Structure 1
């Protein structure tokens, strides 16, 4: 294939590539840039195109790989290297420092609420909380599995009512 034929084929396929670029980038300007980058790479790598193969598929592959490479570069730019002695990689979107005091208070309130439950509800609930399966709890307490499910459901309902103070906290 001559250079003129190759150029003509690329120009014919550029219209087909634009919707794919828009789908990838979701922005018209970025799609135009991606299309241009794809065409430049195709022209510069003309010698790598095997005549008789599907040029459209070849161009789609170039576009997809270019998009992925550009995305990876963008992600790398959003991360910076801390050059202190610790040499940590820090995400530039900001750091959040949280202590566990709030969680400790919440867990205390939860366990106090569980202690206020009747034993017929708290025992199956605590076993389920510790990771036991319904059938294991039923075997251990010698009660039907339906009763186990019902008691855990009632325990959750009581706890939900008792712990309404935590309803709007994320």
Structure 2
């Protein structure tokens, strides 16, 4: 296939690719950008296209992969662009201010809940929290490993009941 024929085929396929681009991006400008990126990649890689194969499927694959790559790049960047006229960068790292108030409340309540546990449950729970393995805790406290697991389980259950205010709702 000559370059002219390939270019003509790409041009014909662009109308059928546009709805797919719009479905992926959910924005007309982004869909047009994705379509353009797809056509540029297809044209620059025309030597990789094997004549006799499905050009439309090849273009759909390029478009899907381009969209995924762009999306992953945006997520990695961690910046969300406000689409208002001002085009502010929301959550950009340069203007982010930390407020530890919520974390401090959570931490204080967690410590209070742990302190309210009976020592029978608190000791193995805190040892496990600090990185001890079940068998190490069993050796140190001179109790069976099943008892260690049970006490840690009960401690978690009690803490979960005590800290229900912090449970996330889906």
TM-score, reference length from structure 1 = 0.57
Give 1:111 shift: 3.1
Residues in 2 aligned to 1:122 and 1:7: alpha-carbon distance in whole angstroms: 72
Give 1:147 shift: 0.9
Matched with 2:47 is 50
Give 1:158 shift: 2.9
Matched with 2:85 is none
Give 1:140 shift: 1.9
**CA spacing shift, 1:162–1:14, aligned 2, 3 Å:** closer
Residues in 1 aligned to 2:69 and 2:105: alpha-carbon distance in whole angstroms: 47
Of the two, which has the highest radius of gyration? 1
Residues in 2 aligned to 1:142 and 1:110: alpha-carbon distance in whole angstroms: 28
Structure 2, gaps ≥5 residues long = 83-87
Structure 1, gaps ≥5 residues long = 80-90
Q: 1:139-158 alignment to 2 at 5 Å?
A: 139-158=139-158
Given that 2:80 and 2:90 are in contact with CA atoms closer than 8 Å, whether structure 1 keeps it comes out as no
Q: 1:59-78 alignment to 2 at 5 Å?
A: 59=59, 63=63, 67=67, 78=81
**CA spacing shift, 1:10–1:96, aligned 2, 3 Å:** same
TM-score, reference length from structure 2 = 0.57
Aligned residues: 153
Matched with 2:115 is 115
Offset from partner CA, 1:111-169 (integer Å, 9 cap, x none): 343333322111111111112122221222222222112111222233334445x4468
Matched with 1:97 is 98
